Chains A and B, each alone.
Chain A
Amino acid sequence: KAGVTQTPRYLIKTRGQQVTLSCSPISGHRSVSWYQQTPGQGLQFLFEYFSETQRNKGNFPGRFSGRQFSNSRSEMNVSTLELGDSALYLCASSLNTNNEQFFGPGTRLTVL
């Protein structure tokens, strides 16, 4: 069974640009969550989607947004990039809310 896939694996952008990251969950998983991981803050929750609906959002500015498609694939977008947005962005999928989450390899975003 294929795991969670994320594309691209690496991105380099400059301040002010916008970026879109993609996540394909494990087949059959309907919940997709996004996390930001930095050395200082660790893993921080961005948002969670289930059946195309955002059910919860973390404490991040409105520049961070996401969506989920009918096939459960998800994208997150960051607009007007700042240097502090440099991080590993992780996507995780689960069957449902109370099930364990399985993580993808992440997208390493560097903002110059």
Chain B
Amino acid sequence: EDQVTQSPEALRLQEGESSSLNCSYTVSGLRGLFWYRQDPGKGPEFLFTLYSAGEEKEKERLKATLTKKESFLHITAPKPEDSATYLCAVQGSGAGSYQLTFGKGTKLSVIP
């Protein structure tokens, strides 16, 4: 069974204070690891897909990296508008290969 654990559950940062969110996973054959951002009352917004260990992707102040056991979402010099819940999900190649297994998310608050 695929499993995803995200840490920390919540993170408060001062504006400009860089940090990283962690996503640890176990999966039978990784097809893809996905990062989403979710604002209150809205559906998740797609950020990145990572397919293999060593891969990195960047978008504005966000950078996602992937190893064989975990992924990190690095946030550089965050702004208040980066406040949201960040979700990590994996897609495996086992019996559940048509579904995403999500972690419970990290709620990020960026204080001006």
Contacts and interface: CB of A to CB of B under 8 A. Distances in A.
B43 A105 contact: yes
B100 A33 contact: yes
B25 to A, nearest CB: 14
Majority-rule SS of A interface residues: strand
Size range of the interface on A? 20 to 34
A56 B43 contact: no
B99 A33 contact: yes
A97 B45 contact: no
Nearest to A103: B43
Instruction: From B32, B43, B44, B89, name the one whose CB has the most chain A CB atoms within 10 angstroms.
Output: B43
A66 interface: no
Contacts of A105: 42-43
Given A43-B87, A100-B49, 13 more contacts: A35-B100, A42-B105, A43-B102, A44-B102, A45-B100, A56-B95, A92-B43, A97-B98, A100-B32, A100-B34, A103-B36, A106-B42, A106-B43
